Amino acid sequence: MLAFLKQNFRWIAGGFLLTCFSSFGQTYFISGSIAEWQAAFDLSHGEFGRLYMFATLCSAACLPFVGRLMDVVPAHRVVLAVVPLLALAALSAGLAATVPVLVVSIFLLRLLGQGMMTHIALTATGRWFVAERGRAVSLVVLGHQGGEASIPLLFVSLSILYGYSAGWIVASVVLLLVGLPAIYWCYRVPRIPHGTVSTETSRVAVTRHWTRREVLSDPVFWVLLTGVLAPPFIGTTIFYHQNYMTALFDWPPQLFAQSLVIMAATTVAFALLTGHAIDRLGARVVIRFFLLPLTASCFALAFASSAQSLLFVMILLGISYGFSATLFGALWPEIYGTRNLGAIRSVTVSAAVLATAAGPGVTGTLIDRGIALPRQMIFLGFYCLLAVLAMNIASQVLQRRK
């Protein structure tokens, strides 16, 4: 592992920084300012939830078009456009004086942060690495956990001392002065895949490069999406409703932030293990069981009550995120090739963003109608079980197709 890092440091570091700084567009970061925005603009929980869902849906609709840039523009040039615009969105979010400005800011944060920053990292990594793609992706996606474990805590500290606007201003400055030059340097020289493909990887090598139109007409792709979209839908729902659950179960206010650190540590460990498994077995095999921990987390949260139960839920969620974060970076190039990977991944990222928009909106509406979140988690758990069955069928089909 150390030798691999030494040889590929700049590309792994660039992807890590991209996924880390994508935090500024993730729900777990944005949710830290929801209470202040609701108070500033006199918005109810449901009203803000609908605005948030609208902004996220718009970003999901734009991603298939913006994401195709990765197939026609070098990654470092895409970085030069995306990072400054994300910094501008962060500044606008902190200084927003009207609801329309806030909605546009959230739209850009979701499109550029959650969407494009992750899309650039995983598309470039999937294209630049072949024989050890699983290992490379597993290291790059650790940036998500690094961001989860550090950036929200730093933001909360700044907000307590100087107000939430100061936190967003600092985020903008960090993106421009730290993120932009560092990521640009890392990606300025693209990596050329070299060396021989291992025996394990050769068993899962693609026979041709699919176009996006061909992928969208492939029934297996849509079956895979039933499983791929479960983690972002369920994970975002849990993060978004953290204040609701804290009040419902009378948990200490700081418990959720502390549990995120535990989840991040668990995700790191299982992301690395998943990368090793993908390099040895192939993503086609790993998809069979990656949803089992998420299924267990749904049922655990359905019957949660004590503070210890939340920690158990977050450990299970961390295992699931470790599987899915690495798997999704390696699955699409393994199945559909790399020539049109930007266009293909833009569809999957758009669908994932759509799931993160639907999660808070749908579950929040059900809560308003008297269906508590723990009860909803039971149904989500059964959905995951059905998705596990679908993933096993898809895996068998893909093995025969190979």
Going 393 to 398 to 401 to 402, the CA torsion angle's sign is: negative
pLDDT the model gives residue 322: 86
pLDDT digits (tens, 9 = 90+) for 86-126: 999 999 999 999 999 999 999 999 999 989 999 999 999 98
Length of the chain: 402
Name the amino acid, one letter, at 125: T
Say which residues have a Cβ less than 8 Å from residue 69's Cβ, sequence separation at least 6. 78, 342
Taking the domains of the chain in order of start, what are their residue ranges?
Answer: 2-401
Instruction: Give the CATH number of domain 2-401; options: 3.40.50.620, 1.20.1250.20, 3.40.50.2000, 1.10.10.10.
Output: 1.20.1250.20
Q: 270 near 322, Cβ under 8 Å?
A: yes
Q: Is the dihedral of CA 287, 274, 330, 60 positive or negative?
A: positive
Question: Are 200 and 282 spatial neighbours (Cβ–Cβ below 8 Å)?
Answer: yes
Q: Residues 224-236: pLDDT tens digits? A: 999 989 998 998 8
- Could you tell me if 200 and 279 are in contact, meaning their C-beta atoms sit under 8 angstroms apart? yes
- pLDDT of 200 higher than 60: no
pLDDT at 232: 87
Does the pTM surpass 0.85? The reply is no
Contacts with 147 (C-beta within 8 Å, 6 or more apart), sequence order: 19, 20, 21, 22, 23, 26, 29
